[in-house]
Structure 1
Amino acid sequence: MEITGIISALFIGLLIGGLGRLVVPGKQRISVLLTVLVGIAAALVGTFGASVIGVAETDGIDWIELALQVGLAGVGVTALAKRRSRQLS
């Protein structure tokens, strides 16, 4: 993988992770690094899921794929935030 691929994966992970944090109500006590990692994982799994259901290759913005990625990031952020809150208690 080239450096541009790594940088774009980090940027997309940050974007998807940040959007995932925005859709989850309340404050999440997880780091930015975990948010980026959740975003990267959600982007990869969301893209795979969108290709499985046949909506990954469309003209323009893939809104269904993006919604799937953000939803998965929200689930991941919520799971990590709940796990962290249990560890602190």
Structure 2
Amino acid sequence: MSIIWTIIIGFIAGVIAKFIMPGDNEPKGFILTTILGIIGAFVATFLGRALGWYGPNDGAGFIGAIVGAIVVLAIWGMIAGRRRTTTRL
């Protein structure tokens, strides 16, 4: 059940992270944004467990999932921005 909650929280966190961090290099589609949010929730869960913030059966909280989604969106923006500048040359 923990994975299902992580996906649901990640879905919502991805949508909120997109509203918090809009930009030209961010993904345009709703589905890609939510997938990156789900990945952010899994990243937040993994890092929280590695740092000892969460127990072995705990998942990232809502705020942690939003922060993880923002980090993943920022990385996506850097990669997409770099790809756009190299293709324009």
TM-score (norm 1): 0.58
Aligned AA (1:24): M
2:40 to 39, 42, 46: 42
How big is the alpha-carbon RMSD for the aligned residues of Structure 1 and Structure 2?
3.6
Q: Give, as a single letter, the amino acid of the residue that structure 2 aligns with 1:21.
A: K
Moved over 6 A (4+): none
1:78 aligns with 77
Gaps of at least 5 residues in structure 2 are none
Letter in 1 for 2:38: I
C-alpha contact 1:30 1:80 (8 A) present in aligned 2: no
Deviation of 1:31 after TM superposition, in Å, equals 0.4
Conservation of the 8 A alpha-carbon contact between 2:15 and 2:37: yes
Output one character per residue of 1:31-79: Cα deviation in whole Å (capped at 9) or x when no partner. 011011101111101110011111124xxx9477345424324324524
Deviation at 1:19, TM superposition (A): 2.0
Task: Pick closer, same or farther for the CA change 1:69–1:78 going to 2, 3 Å.
Answer: same
Aligned mates of 1:29, 1:75 — CA distance in 2? 11
Per the normalisation by structure 2, the TM-score is 0.58
Taking the aligned partners of 2:68 and 2:61, their CA distance within structure 1 comes to 11
Would the alpha carbon gap of residues 80 and 15 (structure 1) be closer, same or farther in structure 2, given more than 3 Å must change? farther
Percent of pairs identical after alignment?
25
